[in-house]
């Protein structure tokens, strides 16, 4: 397929070479749609099993647990889960760097898919050591893939002004949610009801299918996707290789001493990673804010952006517990029987993507309807709404948590409703956050700022991890109330200071 579209062809929704389209979009979108769908299938399938596998056979496992897991306490399992998610989003920044400086987006995605597949196959091998190796490989591969596959979607269109571009990303986004919806139903069922490691192996099969169809369909992608935008010179390669080897050697010596002296525990890995997940986002924002090359207007916008970043970190801290705290509650204290039909608790992980697919078109229509009447909420108001809504979801969560005592199991409608509330908050914050990030980014950091947005997820999950490492019971009613109250207060603060934030945003609305 041609590398770009002429403006006339773009207006008509037809490729320059007159070839086939994918729902009116360039044929390459089908390749990327399917790759992302299978990658999300493998990612969310494994994610649906993660907490359940970690606690299976232990004191915090549900009564119907098959056993055979790692028998960890819930606090330890929550910390591992949070660190894993944090690393996926933290590694998106070096993943984008590899695409820009080393391999180009297309090769980086192919390598990433291979790494993810090997990671899931490693998870399929019993044993705690293999589990952590597999988890690290999946996180690294996901970080490599995340930024680069979105870049290749953009390459299919004739620049930002191509009228089909937004629609293309919408179709691509549907692939994400289709994979996320199907994964718990397939992988979750096999892993939870038959064998954990067979479930992880199915995730590897899903990624293998995605990799095969990506390699077959690469001829439909833009040639720009094979180009390394800013290739490193030989001196830079030597410098980065030297730094990498030095830090690897330091880590190997340090942990070698810790292990040899018999002092090693899991916290020796979890605590440093969690602290890095907080230090790196803060240092990146400080570095950008203190850059003397930025104009006064850009400096002001960065100050305004920090408000959104902090609010987003609090939001994701609560939201991502949908796969840990809420997943464990589904397994232990939620009735898995509807009209005589029993289903695995991992199926609850399909509820959020189902709500997203159902409500995203409604929200898109709602914002357009309000825009035509000049009544669409501003970015700051949408963020404030998202914070209050995510806080409200945990206030609602307190009710079934209080009801599920002395072996009582609550109706599945409680969790379905809570996931619905959280999805409404997500649709108020996530698309808006992506948009405001691109609009408020200084020109010098235009491409890096998308990685900065992902770091908000890293920061939020690392806070959860540190709380869990500290022994905090995230499923305790006082903690749920504290998190909910913190989110609501953050939302009220954003709304109260909205005029100040708007002033910092300059010409961005």
pLDDT tens column, 432-490:
887 788 788 888 887 677 788 889 999 999 999 999 999 999 999 999 999 999 999 99
- Burial (CB count within 10 angstroms: exposed 0-12, middle 13-18, buried 19+), residue 90: buried
What residues have CB less than 8 Å from 90, skipping those under 6 apart?
143, 276, 277, 280, 454, 455, 458
**pLDDT value, residue 96:** 86
Whether the CB-CB separation of 135 and 123 falls below 8 Å is answered with yes
Three-state SS across 350-411?
HHHHHHHHHHHHHHHHHHHHHHHCCCCCCHHHHHHHHHHHHHHHHHHHHHHHHHCCCCCCEC
What is the C-alpha separation between 17 and 89, in angstroms, rounded? 37
CA 254 to chain centre: 31
pLDDT at 8: 35
Q: What are the residues whose beta carbons fall under 8 Å from the beta carbon of 285, sequence distance 6 or more?
A: 302, 306, 309, 452
Residues 6+ apart with CB under 8 A from 14: 21
Residues 417/419/421/423 CA torsion (nearest 10 deg): -140
Q: Any idea which residue has 């269109």 for tokens? A: 157
What pLDDT was estimated at residue 306? 92
**217 neighbors 28 (Cβ within 8 angstroms):** yes
Write down the H helix ranges in 156-266.
165-183, 189-193, 196-217, 234-260
Instruction: Pick the closest to residue 183 from 44, 369, 331, 90 (CA basis).
Output: 44
74-104 per-position pLDDT tens digit: 999 999 999 999 999 999 888 888 888 889 9
Query: 296-319 vs 477-496: helix axis angle to the nearest 10?
Result: 150
Q: If we measure between CA atoms, which residue out of 331, 472, 329, 465 comes closest to residue 399?
A: 329
Question: Is the per-residue pLDDT at 323 higher than 90?
Answer: yes
pLDDT at 140 over 90: yes
H or E element that contains 21: strand 21-22
- Position 15 scores a pLDDT of 42
Q: How far apart are CA 422 and CA 483, in angstroms?
A: 14
Task: Specify the pTM.
Answer: 0.90
Percent of the chain surpassing pLDDT 70: 94
Distance CA 415, CA 418 (A): 5
What pLDDT, on the 0 to 100 scale, is given for residue 64? 55
Sign of the dihedral through C-alpha 390, 394, 399, 401: positive
DSSP state, residue 334: B
In this structure, the number of other CB atoms found within 10 A of the CB of residue 268 comes to 13
For 172-219, how does the pLDDT look when each residue is reduced to its tens digit (9 = 90+)? Answer: 888 889 999 999 999 999 999 999 999 999 999 999 999 999 999 999
Q: Is the dihedral of CA 308, 314, 319, 321 positive or negative?
A: positive
Give the mean pLDDT of 138-166.
85
Run of H or E residues at 341: strand 341-342
pLDDT in tens, 260-300: 999 888 999 999 999 999 999 999 999 999 898 898 888 99
For residue 494, pLDDT beyond 80: yes
Question: Can you read off the two tokens belonging to residue 148?
Answer: 């680069």
Q: Per-residue pLDDT for 492 more than 50?
A: yes
First to last CA, the chain: 37
Question: How far, in Å, are 193, 249, 283, 351 from residue 184 at the CA level?
Answer: 12, 39, 37, 10
Mean pLDDT of the chain: 89
Percentage of the chain modeled with pLDDT above 90: 64
Task: Extract the tokens encoding 271.
Answer: 């605590």
10: pLDDT strictly greater than 80: no
């Amino acid at each position: 397929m041609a590398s770009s579209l002429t403006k006339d062809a773009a207006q008509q929704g037809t490729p320059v070479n007159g070839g086939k389209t994918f729902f009116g979009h360039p044929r390459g979108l089908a390749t990327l749609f399917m790759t992302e769908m299978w990658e999300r299938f493998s990612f969310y399938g494994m994610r649906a099993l993660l907490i359940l596998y970690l606690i299976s056979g232990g004191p915090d496992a549900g009564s119907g647990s098959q056993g055979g897991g790692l028998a960890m306490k819930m606090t330890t399992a929550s910390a591992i889960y949070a660190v894993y998610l944090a690393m996926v989003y933290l590694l998106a920044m070096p993943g984008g760097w590899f695409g820009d400086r080393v391999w180009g987006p297309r090769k980086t995605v192919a390598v990433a898919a291979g790494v993810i597949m090997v990671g899931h196959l490693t998870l399929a091998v019993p044993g705690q050591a293999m589990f952590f190796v597999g988890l690290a490989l999946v996180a690294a591969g996901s970080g490599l893939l995340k930024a680069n596959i979105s870049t290749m979607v953009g390459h299919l269109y004739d620049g930002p002004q191509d009228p089909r571009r937004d629609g293309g990303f919408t179709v691509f986004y549907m692939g994400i949610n289709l994979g996320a919806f199907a994964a718990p139903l397939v992988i979750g069922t096999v892993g939870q009801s038959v064998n954990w490691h067979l479930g992880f192996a199915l995730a590897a099969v899903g990624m293998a299918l995605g990799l095969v169809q990506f390699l077959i369909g690469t001829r439909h992608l833009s040639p720009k996707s094979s180009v390394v935008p800013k290739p490193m010179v030989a001196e830079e390669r030597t410098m980065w290789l030297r730094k990498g080897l030095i830090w690897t050697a330091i880590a190997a010596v340090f942990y070698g001493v810790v292990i040899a002296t018999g002092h090693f525990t899991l916290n020796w890995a979890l605590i440093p990673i969690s602290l890095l997940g907080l230090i790196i986002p803060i240092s990146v924002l400080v570095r950008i804010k203190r850059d003397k090359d930025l104009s006064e207007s850009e400096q002001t916008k960065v100050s305004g952006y920090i408000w959104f970043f902090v609010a987003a970190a609090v939001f994701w801290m609560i939201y991502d517990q949908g796969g840990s705290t809420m997943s464990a509650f589904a397994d232990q204290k939620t009735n898995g029987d509807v009209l005589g039909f029993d289903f695995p608790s991992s199926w609850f992980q399909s509820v959020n993507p189902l709500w997203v697919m159902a409500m995203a078109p409604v929200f898109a229509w709602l914002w357009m309807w309000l825009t035509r009447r000049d009544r669409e909420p501003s970015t700051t108001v949408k963020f404030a709404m998202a914070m209050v809504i995510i806080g409200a979801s945990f206030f609602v969560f307190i009710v079934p948590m209080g009801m599920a005592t002395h072996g009582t199991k609550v109706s599945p409608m409680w969790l379905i409703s809570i996931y619905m509330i959280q999805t409404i908050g997500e649709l108020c914050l996530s698309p808006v956050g992506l948009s405001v990030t691109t609009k408020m980014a200084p020109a010098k950091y235009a491409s890096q700022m998308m990685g900065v947005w992902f770091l908000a997820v890293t920061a939020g999950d690392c806070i959860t991890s540190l709380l869990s490492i500290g022994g905090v019971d995230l499923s305790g009613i006082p903690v749920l109330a504290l998190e909910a109250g913190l989110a609501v207060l953050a939302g009220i603060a954003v709304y109260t200071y909205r005029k100040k934030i708007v002033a910092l945003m300059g010409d961005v609305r």
